[in-house]
Amino acid sequence: MIIPVRCFTCGKVLGSLFEEYKKRVYIEGENPKKVLDDLKIRRYCCRRTIISHPVFVKGKEVKEPIDEAAQYE
Residue partners of 7: CB distance under 8 A and separation at least 6: 14, 43, 45, 46, 49
Q: Does 3 bind other proteins (CB under 8 A)?
A: yes
Taking CB under 8 A as the criterion, which residues in 29-58 touch other proteins?
40, 42-43
The 8-class DSSP code of residue 58 comes to E
Q: Does 28 bind other proteins (CB under 8 A)?
A: no
Min dist. Cβ of residue 49 to other proteins (A): 12
Cβ–Cβ < 8 Å for 47, 36 = yes
Min dist. Cβ of residue 46 to other proteins (A): 8
